[in-house]
Chains A and B, each alone.
Chain A
Amino acid sequence: MALLNVDKVSKHFGGLVANHEVSFEVDQNEVVGLIGPNGAGKTTLFNCIAGYHALTSGTVRFNGADISQLKDYQVARLGLARTFQIFEASGDLSVVDNVMVGSFMHTGSRGEARRLARDTLEFLGIAETARSMMTELPVAAQKRVALATALASQPKLLLLDEVGAGLNPSEIEGLINLLQRIHREKGIALLLTEHVLEMVMAMSHRVIVLESGQKIAEGEPAEVVKDPEVVRAYLGDHYVKRQAKEDGDA
């Protein structure tokens, strides 16, 4: 039984088809990448899974239960956490307070929540920022706090929406190590979207490719990148033809 089972999920916005009958699974011990060019419907699919959008049709099962009809916060309580592509920190809360909001999902006790929050910050290696205000931190650090907050809610599956966006190569390197530790040491399954392929390819056990709202390929990263459909989706028909011609010439 897969942890997450997405079955023929479609999402229409009026006449616009954002996702069409997408199906895939994520197992408890997996890291799955969801890739596709800009506008392929990755974020919409995330929002459908996490309960932010009502599905037009199809079902989403999580941990054996049908969550298609549940609201976003109910889905979250079942152990499906997510991060957001655009994260704007503001407000009155310090870093540790922010993370505590996550840990309050499973406890009503402030002491317990604080302990959990500190452990999580420690785990992510940012314990020293605990008392800073969110607005005092650089964006990369703010994103890491958002990740810590999601982790503190002790999820079974973490949906990561473009976590690497806007980071430089060495920061991405660090993030990959961190995510792999989260997966290995905490046993949390990961589903990540990224239109920068480097990160997804380095981490994922399996990759799902979306184009124009439909799944066009699925498989191990090394195979998927060779798939002509995928190459076409990313680089366009013209490139594929020229490539074929060059191959023929050679």
Chain B
Amino acid sequence: MEAIKNAFDFSDLPKTELSLAAAVLVFLLGFPALPHSSFGMSTMIQFLAFSLYGMGWNLIGGYGGQVDLGKAQYVGIGAYTTAVMMIRWNVPFWFSMPLGMAFAVGWSFIIGYPLFRLKGHYFAIATIATSLVLKDLFEVWDFVGGARGLELPIKGDFPNWLYLQFREDYYYYYILLAMFLVGLIYVNGFRHSRLGYQLRAIKDNEHVARSLGIDVHWSKIKAYAMATAFVAAVGSFHACYNYNIEPEDVMSLDLSVLIAMMAMLGGAGSIWGPIIGAAILVPMKNYLGSWLGGQAGFAGMDLALYGLIIMVIAAAQPRGVYGIVEAVRARRR
């Protein structure tokens, strides 16, 4: 009961932030009714997806300070569970999604146990390594379509709620928006939970955390498992939305990096960070990409610019965009 109350308790956040968030929410709810291009719609869906990935990343990366660069493996586990189960046994999305989350959590426990014996850079690189091992395995595993990946068949008439197949994008948009809100509330609850506090203490100083009775290793594994569930759920959604998945697309290092970047750019360890990061990077990447990437001789310009911005922010304000907001607020006070 108290957990639910905590999840809906936003009262510890500044009023300005809450009113801004409310305005954004109204915009998000009404967006499909506004005039928009299909490009704009798909950008918004990507924004929501990356916000969710980022929220998952933030649980362990932001609150726990463990830089995870292997989130794509869980996107892959979710996406593949849904795709394989639908293709082979006609299992609907609503069953395969929780199952995909369960698989991802199971895998996260298996690798989390050794992973969290590492710290800092070593941990970050090891997460890349595990993710790439899994990707390589999927690329040669015929059961899941190997390197060519899987194509999801169309199941009957649109709109098909069981298999999440719709002709119009706004169905997908609202489903993902619902997941986004559930995710946001969940993260808020996590922030207020015992584990949420303990994780921040661990990030601060592991020795002190231990002296307060916190099993540091196990706490990290638990938070990692939760983070994983988020990412796998969106992975399942991605499979249905895209109709087509392949290891290079859903399990690549680029995806892992992008997830981590968005959360870090927005501000790791703050509830709005991943959302801010996704709101900046997804449209920037998409529009820069379509504007510059479309013109002959400009391929790469968009991402080079993007890399440059990331470098500048890392050097100037390591706490990300939200860190800038906080710094400004502190100066005013």
Contacts and interface: CB of A to CB of B under 8 A. Distances in A.
Interface of A: 50, 52, 71-74, 76-77, 81-84, 87-93, 97-98, 100-102, 104-105, 107-111, 113, 146, 149-150, 153
A110 B6 contact: yes
Given A73-B216, A76-B212, A84-B208, A108 B194 contact: yes
Given A73-B216, A102-B212, A150-B211, A92 B200 contact: yes
Contact of A93 (B6, B200, B207, B270): B200
A98 B200 CA distance: 9
Please name the 8 residue pairs, one residue from A and one from B, whose CB atoms are nearest each other, closest first.
Answer: A76-B213, A91-B204, A77-B213, A101-B201, A105-B213, A72-B210, A104-B194, A73-B210
Interface in B260-275: 269-270
A118 B68 CA distance: 35
B66 interface: no
B215 interface: yes
B285 interface: no
Interface residues of B, number: 24
B8 to A, nearest CB: 13
Nearest to A47: B207
Given A72-B210, A92-B269, A105-B212, A110 B192 contact: yes
A149 B212 contact: yes
Interface of B is mostly: helix
B203 interface: yes
Given A84-B207, A110-B6, 20 more contacts: A73-B210, A73-B212, A73-B214, A76-B211, A91-B203, A91-B204, A92-B200, A93-B200, A104-B194, A104-B198, A105-B212, A105-B213, A107-B194, A110-B2, A110-B193, A113-B194, A113-B197, A146-B208, A149-B208, A149-B212
B212 A101 contact: yes
Nearest to A107: B194
B1 to A, nearest CB: 10
Interface of B: 2, 6, 192-194, 197-198, 200-201, 203-205, 207-216, 269-270
A245 B181 CA distance: 83
Nearest to B6: A110
A91 B65 CA distance: 10
Contacts of B205: 88, 90
B211 A109 contact: no
B200 A91 contact: yes
B303 to A, nearest CB: 31
Given A72-B211, A73-B210, A146-B208, A101 B269 contact: no
Contacts of A104: 194, 197-198, 212
A155 to B, nearest CB: 10
A100 B214 contact: no
A219 B29 CA distance: 73
A20 B245 CA distance: 64
Greatest chain A CB density within 10 A among B208, B211, B212, B215 is at B211
A35 to B, nearest CB: 22
Contacts of A50: 211
A110 to B, nearest CB: 5
Contact of A76 (B194, B201, B203, B210): B210
Nearest to A90: B204
